[in-house]
Structure 1
Amino acid sequence: MRGADALRLRPGARPGRVDEATALPFAEFVRLLLEWITWWNTEHSSQALEGRRPLEAWRADSTRPPSRT
């Protein structure tokens, strides 16, 4: 999906429209993607996870492999 109808990863996170003629440099794309992944896993809650955040659900899962840290 492109242009004004494109979905945003976090609604309301960035005001204004995206200039389609300007592509993001790869490093900037990666930075934004990692920022979104962090937000999704640590701040976003889901009904599918009974209101928990993905990281909370993952840590509470007794079937996950033990942490290496």
Structure 2
Amino acid sequence: MLKDKDKRSSFNGILQGIEYYVVLLRFLLYLKIKTSEAHSTAFYKGLSEKNKDKRSAFNGILQGFE
């Protein structure tokens, strides 16, 4: 049979293990959010660059009519 001190020690060990995994999960979630933001930024930046190319091509066509 475990003594009260041993029970507390086991319980504290379990809590420390849980705290470790909570910190690890928070960090992984942070990385996932940052990665998603980077992908979104790159995607919209790519769209912006494509639109700039289309606008400059369209402006070139319009200048030909002047």
- TM-score (norm. length: structure 2): 0.31
- TM-score (norm. length: structure 1): 0.30
Question: Greater relative contact order (Cα 8 A, min sep 6): structure 1 or 2?
Answer: 1
Specify the structure having the higher radius of gyration (Cα).
2
